[in-house]
Every structure is written in C-alpha cells, then in structure tokens.
C-alpha cells in the first residue's frame, strides 16, 4: 500500500520554510530552489505544490495569519490576562514571532517593487484589522459603547503601534528586548484607554 | 577654460535619484545602471563618483538625514507651531516625504539580507534619535526637567509611532491620507505629554 501523503501539511511546511528564508535572507535572495533545499525537498517537488514564488508567499501569508489568529484566541478555557497579553502575540518577543515580524518587514519593503504583493497586502491588512477588532471587542467590552470614530481611532493607533514596534525591533533588535516592547505596549494601551473613555464621555 | 563641475552637487543628485528609484522599484530592481540612466548619466560617470551600489545607498541615507535635519530645524526666524508641526516633517504627507518614507520601508526590508546595511542602520538610527531628541528639548522645554527614564520612554514612543505610520502609510496609502496621519500624531503627542507630566510628578 503506498504511503499516504498529507498534502495540506506539506504545503504548510514549505510555506513555513519560505517565511523563515525570507525573514533571514530577504525577499530577493529567498529563491524557490533555496526554499526547497531548506525544506528538504527537490525544486520539482515544491513546483508540484506551488506554481511560483508568489504562490508560496501567499501560502506563507495565510499561514502566518492563521497562526496569529490561533495565538490571539489563546487556549480554549484558559482566561487571558487582558489586551496586553493578547496583543503581545503580535510583537517580536520570541523566536517564532521575531521570524514572523522579520518576514513582515521584508514583505513591506518589497511592496513598492511588486504590484501583485501590493494587492495581497490590501487583503492581508484587512484580515489583520479584523483580528485586532475582535480582540478589542473581547478584551475591552466597554469599547463597544464608544462612538464609531473613537473605536476606529483606537484600532488605528494600536495597529500603528504594533507596526512601529515590529519595524523598530527588527531593524534595531538590541534596543528592543522583549521587556521594553511589553512596557511600551502597556503604556500605549493605558493612554489609549484613558483617552477613549474621555472621548466617549465628551 | 574647462567647465567647472560641482562634484558634491553631482553626488547629491545621484543619491537623490537612487532614493527615488529604491522608493519606486524596491532595492533589488534599483540597479546602478538604472540609477545612472534616470539621473541622465552614463554608468561610467556614476562609477566615477561611487564604487558600488552600497556607497550610493550610504550617500542617499546621508542626504535624507541632512534634508530631515534641515526640515526639522525649519526656516531661521520663522517660529514653529510646536512639536506636531516639527514632527510632521517625518511623516509621508507630501510627495518628497512619501518618497523618503518609501525608501525607509525598502531599506528596513533589506536589512535581514545585508550585514553591511545593518551596520549602516545602527548609525543612521542613532543619528535620527539625536534629531528627535533635539526637537523634544526645543519644542517641549519642560521635558528637560523630566526624569531620564521618562524622557527616554517619550522619545522611544515617538520614534515607534513615526516608524509605525511610515510603514502603515507606505503599505496602505489609501488608509492614511495626510489628515489622518496628522490627527493620529496629534493624539499621540497629547497622550504622551499628559503621561509624562504625571510620571514626572509621581
């Protein structure tokens, strides 16, 4: 009986290797051949699953999004210690998250050069926004009573902050140990919440 | 009498074209030949001024830094309307600043792939920090009486914010018209100042 191959798992495996390769070597140097070699496959095998590097990137984006979604949701039944803990899932504070953030930085850096990636970015940006919107509603239930403009401002400020720390910590890692990132996020959340309460009352 | 050539100006001209080429086409596709062609020079002429693409990048970084420094200082004798106006010089709110921010995003995206750029980044990051430190001291003179930890936290938060808007606005320009960026910066400054005053009194 032939060995059964889990194709979905293989696709994920290749996408994950691609994410790492791009995080470590940048967009241009992470070729399909190099991704295949690192994953322990032949280029032909990778070509069986993906038509192009673009398709591998799309799979990597989907995978990172899925992993972020799972982390943001947390372990079922295990209560979260608030928005700080949930959003820290998006910061480059451990090896996996550093890889993902380095991937994002490389991805953003490539957008100018690539109209296809620009379209992918519009989609992935919307999906991320939805994830953080859900976190806000769950962790700060009172936010649902705030005027729409206040909610939008808070969400935008959170995403700006997360993108800013991602970029800063990936480009200057020594200045951004995990503790510093968390302290900065904590302050940002505190300030935003106070402001939103005031703005909602006004 | 032979025509006198202003070599410093030519170097700046080439560096500026390189900045635009990288902002528009990304790091990998902005070649020395392409930069030369856009600048209206031969590749040989560019090679007369710069030994490598790396050297052109360094010149571009220096030029952007110099232009930022000049903009942050403003017109001599013309008073500035505060930190909001000064720091808006770092946001992608007009064509020149959009180009510079797109260059930064491409540059950050390339750091993983290039140890030389990483070293350049450490230097340029320090220089930028100094510029913003000076703005803070000039525009919020009371900040000089805050404890060092509060000053450092405010500076870090400002730079995180500016990097975050840069990345967000370059990757999703439609979501970030100039007005939205300025409103977001205004809110961020307001919150930070209130927090710093409270923290300094505590």
What is the chain A residue with the closest CA to B105? A109
How far away is chain A from the Cα of B5, in angstroms, using its nearest Cα? Answer: 34
Predicted local distance difference test score (pLDDT) of residue B188: 93
Tens-level pLDDT at each residue, chain B (202 residues): 567 778 899 999 999 999 999 999 888 888 999 999 988 999 999 999 999 988 999 999 999 999 889 888 877 777 777 899 999 999 999 999 999 999 999 999 999 888 889 999 999 999 999 999 999 999 999 999 999 999 999 999 999 999 999 999 999 999 999 999 999 999 999 999 999 999 988 8
**Interface touch A167/B163, C-beta < 8 Å:** yes
**Interface touch A192/B192, C-beta < 8 Å:** no
How far away is chain B from the Cα of A165, in angstroms, using its nearest Cα? Answer: 6
Predicted local distance difference test score (pLDDT) of residue B2: 64
| Spans of chain A below 50 pLDDT | none
Superfamily of domain A7-201: Tetracycline Repressor, domain 2 (1.10.357.10)
Residue B72 to residues A157, B85, B138, B178, Cα–Cα distance (Å)? 24, 9, 11, 18
Tens digit of each residue's pLDDT (9 = 90 or more) over A138-158: 999 999 999 999 999 999 999
Burial class of residue A192 (count of CB atoms within 10 Å of its CB; 0-12, 13-18, 19+): buried
d(CA B10, CA B39): 10
Domain boundaries, chain A: 7-201
Q: Which of A122, A184, A195 sits opposite B157 (nearest CB)?
A: A184
Tens digit of each residue's pLDDT (9 = 90 or more) over A170-193: 999 998 999 999 999 999 999 999
Predicted local distance difference test score (pLDDT) of residue A27: 85
Chain CA centroid to CA A6, Å: 25
Q: Which of A125, A165, A195 sits opposite B160 (nearest CB)?
A: A165
* Closest C-alpha among B184, B162, B192 to residue A149: B184
What is the chain A residue with the closest CA to B174? A122
**Interface touch B184/A156, C-beta < 8 Å:** yes
ipTM of the complex: 0.88
Neighbour tally for B148: CB within 10 Å: 7
**Interface touch A157/B25, C-beta < 8 Å:** no
Q: What are phi and psi of A75, to 5 degrees?
A: -80, 130
**Interface touch A121/B172, C-beta < 8 Å:** yes
What's the predicted TM-score (pTM) here?
0.90
């Amino acid at each position: 009986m032939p060995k059964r191959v889990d194709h979905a798992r293989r696709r994920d495996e290749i996408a994950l290797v691609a994410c790492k390769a791009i995080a470590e070597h940048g967009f241009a140097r992470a070729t399909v051949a190099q991704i295949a070699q690192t994953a322990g496959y032949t280029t032909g095998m990778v070509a069986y699953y993906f038509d192009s590097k673009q398709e591998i990137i799309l799979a990597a984006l989907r995978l990172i999004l899925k992993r972020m979604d799972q982390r943001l949701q947390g372990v079922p039944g295990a209560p979260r210690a608030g928005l700080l803990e949930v959003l820290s899932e998006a910061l480059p504070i451990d090896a996996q998250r550093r890889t993902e953030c380095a991937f994002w930085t490389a991805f953003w850096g490539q957008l100018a050069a690539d109209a296809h990636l620009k379209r992918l970015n519009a989609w992935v940006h919307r999906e991320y926004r939805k994830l953080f919107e859900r976190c806000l509603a769950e962790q700060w239930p009172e936010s649902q009573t705030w005027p729409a403009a206040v909610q939008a401002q808070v969400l935008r400020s959170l995403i700006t902050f997360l993108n800013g720390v991602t970029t800063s910590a990936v480009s200057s890692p020594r200045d951004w140990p995990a503790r510093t990132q968390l302290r900065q996020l904590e302050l940002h959340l505190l300030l935003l919440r106070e402001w939103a309460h005031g703005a909602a009352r006004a």
